[in-house]
Amino acid sequence: MASYKLMVKDVIKKADVLLEVIDARFPDETRNSEVERDITRANKPFIIVINKCDLVSKETLEKTKSRLSKIAPTIFVSNKEKFGTTLLRHKILEIAGIKGREILVGSIGYPNTGKSSVINGVSGRHSARTSPISGYTRGVQLVDAGSRIMFIDTPGVIPFGENDEYIQGLLGVKDATHLQDKIGVAMRIIGKLCAENKTVLESLYHVTIEGQDSYDAILLIGKECNFLKKKGEIDEERAAMKIINDWQKGLLV
């Protein structure tokens, strides 16, 4: 992990502009205040790239933007729907304020947020390697995006401890079968959805959630899916895995 931190510090030192790539579905969980502090201390400009915008509603995006734009310029991007990348290119050129030489742009953030995809989107090429399995980008990679922009692609930077299973599940760093506390992770996903977007949960599973706690909501979903153990009890672990899988597949947005 120490080498990750050193790698990030080195990229911050070398780059003229930094992109902090976050996932639109969980902006707070994928921002890293330590990295932001290091960038500010190094006196480098940075842009918060809110990626995977196709996976959230416009209202959620606007709320996120109004909060985060107090910290740094923010740009919405969806690589899937191909928007935001031209604007991002312009913003990089504007914020760097460098004339006549190449601009080095470091792309940093949590695993799987789409750092490599954003680079490919801006370059209009597929030079940075991407993957649904997080941790794909291993070493630091340089990608020439043309018109004076050179990207530094980095691996995901966040230290994961044993207690970060929720983040790991949320970000798709681990799939449901590899999570120890599947029920705990599913409960937190349900809690998040009940606070932000209860209807999507209700309509995907054909249930009505009215004041139940997250555990009871898992049972309700298990019952509706007919996930039963031998004795006829609801198989809450199977229900939890389904919820985590559906979340990771993007069905709960």
Ligand X SMILES: Nc1nc2c(ncn2[C@@H]2O[C@H](COP(=O)(O)OP(=O)(O)OP(=O)(O)O)[C@@H](O)[C@H]2O)c(=O)[nH]1
Q: Which residues bind ligand X (CB under 6 A)?
A: 51-52, 54-55, 78-80, 111-117, 130-132, 134-137, 155-156
- The site string for Mg ion over 133-172 (x = CB under 5 A, - otherwise) reads ----x-----------------------------------
Which one, 115 or 182, has the nearer CB to Mg ion?
115
Candidate residues 85, 107, 116, 248; the one interacting with Mg ion per rule CB under 5 A: 116
Q: Could you say which of Mg ion, ligand X, none residue 215 binds, taking C-beta under 5 to 8 angstroms by partner kind?
A: none
What is the spatial distance between Cα 160 and Cα 174, in angstroms, rounded to a whole number? 11
Q: How many residues does the chain have?
A: 253
DSSP helix/strand/coil, 21: strand
Q: Output the smallest distance, CB 187 to Mg ion, in A.
A: 30
Residue indicated by tokens 């050129």:
93
Decide: is 51 part of the binding site for Mg ion (CB under 5 A). Answer: no
What is the spatial distance between Cα 162 and Cα 227, in angstroms, rounded to a whole number? 28
DSSP helix/strand/coil, 57: coil
What is the spatial distance between Cα 242 and Cα 239, in angstroms, rounded to a whole number? 5
Q: Output the smallest distance, CB 160 to ligand X, in A.
A: 12
What is the spatial distance between Cα 159 and Cα 55, in angstroms, rounded to a whole number? 25
Which one, 55 or 207, has the nearer CB to ligand X?
55
Task: List the structure tokens of 176.
Answer: 């449901």
Q: Output the smallest distance, CB 183 to ligand X, in A.
A: 26
Residue indicated by tokens 């599973």:
205
Q: Which residue is nearest to Mg ion (CB)?
A: 137
